[in-house]
Amino acid sequence: MADNESSTSSAVDRLTYLLIGAGIGATVALLFAPKSGRELRGDIADASRKGVELTTEQARRLGEKANDVYGQAAQKATDLYGQTAQKAQELIDAGKETVAAKREQLQAAIEAGKDAYAEEKDRARSAGSLGSGSTPGNV
């Protein structure tokens, strides 16, 4: 995009210098031409009209070029936005899947812990009821 801006700026500079040079050259040529005042004024009017027409045409071309560059930049921005939004959605979905998988693992671990606790509690009760019949002093 920097190349487009550089070439557009360069084209504008060239056009400006061309028009300035053409205006100076036409004015000098008309001033030194051996013509009557009426002819000279007519020639100056013709040169001015041609200069305006040339400037108008160049401005129109430059405007079209600017619109093309703007359209291309807008299209690229739209494409990049779409790609970024799609990638973000993919990352969000992957994150949700990871969280769901970890949640299931955590719930399974909690259930396993509860089961192990219940088994140990039952074992402790069983061991306690077996050992309650004999006291250490009776042995």
What SS3 class is residue 34?
A: coil
pLDDT per residue as tens digits for the range 19-34: 888 888 877 776 776 7
All structural domains of the chain with their residue ranges:
2-129
Look over the chain and give the mean of its residue pLDDT values, rounded to a whole number: 83
**67/8 Cα distance (integer angstroms):** 12
Is the pLDDT assigned to residue 139 strictly greater than 50? no
DSSP state of 83: H
**Residue 18 is which amino acid?**
L
The encoded tokens of residue 6 equal 């550089």
Structure tokens at 82: 């779409």
- Whether residue 51 contacts residue 19, with contact meaning beta carbons closer than 8 Å, is answered with yes
- Sequence-separated (6 or more) residues with CB below 8 Å from residue 26: 44, 47, 51
pLDDT tops 90 at residue 43:
no
Task: Report which residue type is found at 65.
Answer: K
For residue 123, is pLDDT > 50? yes
- Of 32 and 121, more confident: 121
Task: Round to whole Å and give the CA distance between 80 and 76.
Answer: 6
Q: Model confidence over 75-110: pLDDT tens digits?
A: 999 999 999 999 999 999 999 999 999 999 999 999
Q: Identify the pLDDT of residue 35.
A: 67
